[in-house]
Amino acid sequence: MPTPDLNLLVTLDVLLAEGSVARAARRLRLSPSAMSRALARLRETTGDPLLVRAGRGLVPTPRALELRERVSRLVEDGNAVLRPAEKLKLEQLVRTFTLRTSEGFAENFGPALIARVGKEAPGVRLCFVQKPDKDSAPLRDGLVDLETGVVGKTAAPELRVQALFRDRFVGVVRLGHPLCRGEITPSRYAAGRHIYVSRQGLDKGPIDAALKRLGLERKIVTIVGGFSTALALARASDLIATVPETHSGNLRAGMHSFPLPVSSPKITVSLLWHPRLDADPAHRWLRAHVRQVCAAPG
């Protein structure tokens, strides 16, 4: 079956509205003969005469009357689709954005982001969902609007990526912990009891490799899936948590933080989204607020 010429919808809409080939031709700036040919094509396509002679004028057939409202709505919707996007009216915006982040990101940056968004667009709701892996499928399938994190090798190449901030790891202990006093050497750090953060259940990483080069090994007594959990455990015990400094700023309040006594790689936390949302005005507005919140001093 050949693909129908959708331009005929506009012609049919005008013909049904005017009830006259001559008036429809003037409205569409066509010659009467061109409009007559278009009507002939419409009759052939729909299998219905659409407009028939009645005295000196034309009257619509029952099929034409059935189509008139539907065709008008289709043309109106088509014009709306092809029209440039209207200026975003934040006070009228009603929308839910889903952000896939770690619990630590939501707890550290979420309050400021929610406050900013709510002040400008009270009808907008933010839905934070957990990020158990680096799978790009939720972004690609439209289940998630934005994602934050360190970009992995498995990230889909088509995703848009924008760096939010660079981060370094620091050690964190409860106030009154022995590491709150004196110089923290590699051996003092390694001698403590440690919490390791890994979503995959691993028990070693770059920090352990750096300690190994010095002939040292830290004792991992528990493994958790997120930095906020590690900090909660360290706050209530003598365990040592090692977490990203900026990423956990608010979560470390009331605790003692210290630079690591060994070298560890810095990480870049980025914002990711699918290109189909790149030009969406509301999405661009939200991305700007996420960048501003992450750039604000803690």
Q: Indicate the pLDDT class of residue 171, thresholds 50, 70 and 90.
A: very high
Q: Indicate the pLDDT class of residue 84, thresholds 50, 70 and 90.
A: low
pLDDT tens for residues 219-265?
A: 999 999 889 999 999 999 999 999 999 888 889 999 999 999 999 88
Counting other chains too, the contacts that 46-49 makes at CB distance below 8 Å and 24 or more residues apart are: none
The third-level CATH classification (topology) of the domain covering 169-265 is D-Maltodextrin-Binding Protein; domain 2 (3.40.190)
| Least confident segment among 37-51, 67-81, 187-201, 279-293 | 67-81
Query: 100: helix, coil or strand?
Result: strand
| Residue-range domain boundaries for the chain | 7-82, 90-167+268-295, 169-265
CA-to-CA dists, residue 291 to 82, 146, 153, 270, 294, angstroms? 31, 12, 23, 10, 5
Architecture of domain 7-82: Orthogonal Bundle (1.10)
Query: 218: helix, coil or strand?
Result: coil
CATH C-level class of 90-167+268-295? alpha beta
pLDDT tens for residues 150-168?
A: 887 777 788 899 999 999 9
Task: Say yes or no to pLDDT of 85 above 80.
Answer: no
- Whether 90-167+268-295 and 169-265 share one fold: the answer is yes
pLDDT tens for residues 94-141?
A: 999 999 998 888 988 999 999 999 999 999 999 999 887 777 888 888
For residue 186 the two structure tokens come to: 């590699």
How far is 130 from 104, CA to CA, in rounded Å?
10
